[in-house]
Amino acid sequence: MKLLYTPEAFHDLKRVRKFIADNNPEAAQRIGSELVEGISKLKDFPHIGRQVPKAPNPEMVRDISVGMYIVRYLVLENEINILRIWHKREDWASL
């Protein structure tokens, strides 16, 4: 299973790391690595996340928690598209 990041998800990952790095560069590195590692597990377990009921196709659009972050992704036949990444306390609708 191929894992792809949308431009928005890539931007989210950079935004999260920068926000943390402003106060603690070591934590930013650690959390960034934990996010990437957690997301990579989707290659083996693509349906592990919970369905997003309001999505047009809820069985294909899912959310997974990785630490204090939510990762929204789309499961296709041979690939997983990481759509967005946000902190659980963030107002994700405004992202």
Q: What digits encode the pLDDT tens for the residues 18-51?
A: 989 999 999 999 999 999 999 999 999 999 999 9
Confidence of residue 93 (pLDDT cuts 50, 70, 90): low
Q: Which residues contact 23 (CB under 8 A, 6 or more apart)?
A: none
Q: Under CATH, to which class is 2-87 assigned?
A: alpha beta
- In the prediction, which pLDDT does 90 show? 79
Based on C-alpha coordinates, what's the Rg of the chain?
Answer: 13
Please enumerate in sequence order all residues whose Cβ is within 8 A of that of 43, keeping only pairs 6 or more positions apart, or say none: 1, 3, 80
Give percent of the chain with pLDDT exceeding 90: 83
Instruction: Quick: pLDDT tens for 55-76.
Output: 988 889 999 999 999 999 999 9
Relative to beta strand 61-66, strand 69-75 is antiparallel
